[in-house]
């Protein structure tokens, strides 16, 4: 159900119709622009929300903010699309100092400290293995979605775990979808900054059979549309949903809901997040920009 110009039209995972059994889970929505933050400090505030496998922490800073992790169990990601933000990161095996924003960082397990200076937004992405962060979320408990299999970590990075930084100033390429990066626990797609509302005659209704899509909106206004499959049990049917979101916000799009999104303001920035990484995106040659650093999981063809 993609427009002919959409690179995702060629994905084999989207080509087959499937039948599903309910009951089905609703989306989780975090209207950060309209709700109090879960954390505050001098010159900063942060909202935290979880889904099945991930915790999203969005930090708005106007000054200086510092965050420390001790004994972090697995990798986490940090990204900012604000070039004016400056970032220091210290880990046991790597340090970056006065690093500009508009980068994505993968922070290794263990101890780490991150200091943010300036004015802008920085997003932290952890797995729900970090129970202390789950407890701080606006939604520490979520409905179990039986369509999502148990979490499995992907292979270790080439050369071992270490601090890695990736520039988001990546030119667009015909046939590639967004700017994709993965690690052992998650994948992000930092979509290009858009400068016009979406053409409503070229939307992309589709579904995911077994994973959630986390839609993090950093700038602009968005509308999410969701529709669930019908089953033979009418008691499992759900009404269509139309969710309006101002930025910043997070919307968790659950499987197997059919969904599509409109951006309805002149300037927009959205990031799609998946945990674990998506196999179908990973199989597309040249789509994952740091694929040389992070091997793909073995494709089970049995």
Task: Provide the residue-wise pLDDT of the chain in tens; the chain has 302 residues.
Answer: 566 777 887 776 555 557 788 899 999 999 999 999 999 999 999 999 999 999 999 999 999 999 999 999 999 999 999 999 999 999 988 899 999 999 999 999 999 999 999 999 999 999 999 999 999 999 999 999 999 999 999 999 999 999 999 999 999 999 999 999 999 999 999 999 999 999 999 999 999 999 999 999 999 999 999 999 999 999 999 999 999 999 999 999 999 999 999 999 999 999 999 999 999 999 999 999 999 999 999 876 43
The distance from CA 128 to its chain's CA centroid, rounded to whole angstroms, is 14
Residue 126 within any structural domain of the chain: yes
Residue 297 within any structural domain of the chain: no
Identify which of 181, 180, 227 has the alpha carbon closest to the alpha carbon of residue 203. 227
Residue 40 within any structural domain of the chain: no
Which distant-in-sequence residues (6+ apart) come within 8 Å of 70 by Cβ? 111
Residue 203 within any structural domain of the chain: yes
- The sign of the dihedral angle between the CA atoms of 137, 145, 24, 255 is positive
Residue 301 within any structural domain of the chain: no
Which two tokens mark 287?
């789509």
- The C-alpha atoms of residue 13 and residue 11 are separated, in whole angstroms, by 5
Identify which of 84, 27, 33 has the alpha carbon closest to the alpha carbon of residue 52. 27
What is the model's pLDDT at position 20?
85
What is the model's pLDDT at position 301?
43
Residue 295 within any structural domain of the chain: no
What is the model's pLDDT at position 6?
79
How many structural domains is the chain composed of? 1
Q: Which domain holds residue 63?
A: 7-35+46-144+153-282
Residue 2 within any structural domain of the chain: no
Which distant-in-sequence residues (6+ apart) come within 8 Å of 156 by Cβ? 184
Which two tokens mark 297?
């999981």
Q: Could you tell me the CATH number of the domain that includes residue 249?
A: 2.60.120.10
Residue 287 within any structural domain of the chain: no
């Amino acid at each position: 159900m993609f427009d002919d110009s959409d690179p995702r039209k060629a994905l084999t995972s989207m080509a087959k119709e499937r039948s599903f059994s309910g009951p089905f889970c609703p989306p989780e929505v975090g209207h950060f622009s309209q709700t109090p933050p879960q954390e505050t400090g001098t010159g900063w505030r942060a909202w935290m929300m979880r889904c099945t496998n991930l915790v999203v922490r969005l930090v708005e800073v106007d000054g200086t903010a510092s965050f420390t992790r001790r004994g972090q169990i697995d990798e986490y990601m940090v990204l900012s699309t604000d070039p004016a933000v400056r970032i220091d990161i210290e880990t046991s095996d790597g340090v970056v100092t006065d690093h500009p924003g508009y980068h994505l960082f993968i922070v290794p397990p263990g101890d780490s400290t991150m200091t943010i200076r300036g004015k802008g937004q920085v997003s932290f992405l952890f797995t729900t293995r970090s129970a202390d962060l789950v407890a701080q979320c606006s939604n520490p408990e979520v409905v179990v979605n039986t369509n999502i299999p148990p979490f499995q970590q992907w292979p270790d990075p080439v050369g071992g775990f270490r601090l890695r930084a990736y520039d988001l100033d990546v030119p667009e390429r015909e046939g590639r979808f967004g700017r994709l990066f993965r690690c052992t626990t998650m994948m992000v797609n930092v979509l290009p900054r858009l400068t016009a509302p979406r053409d409503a005659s070229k939307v992309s209704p589709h579904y995911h059979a077994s994973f959630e899509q986390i839609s993090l909106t950093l700038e602009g206004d968005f509308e999410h549309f969701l529709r669930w499959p019908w089953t033979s049990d009418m008691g499992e049917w759900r009404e269509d949903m139309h969710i309006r979101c101002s930025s910043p916000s997070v919307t968790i799009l659950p499987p197997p809901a059919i969904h599509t999104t409109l951006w309805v303001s002149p300037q927009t920035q959205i990031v799609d997040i998946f945990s674990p990484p998506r196999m179908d995106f990973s199989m597309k040659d040249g789509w994952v920009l740091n694929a040389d650093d992070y091997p793909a999981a073995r494709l089970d063809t049995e």
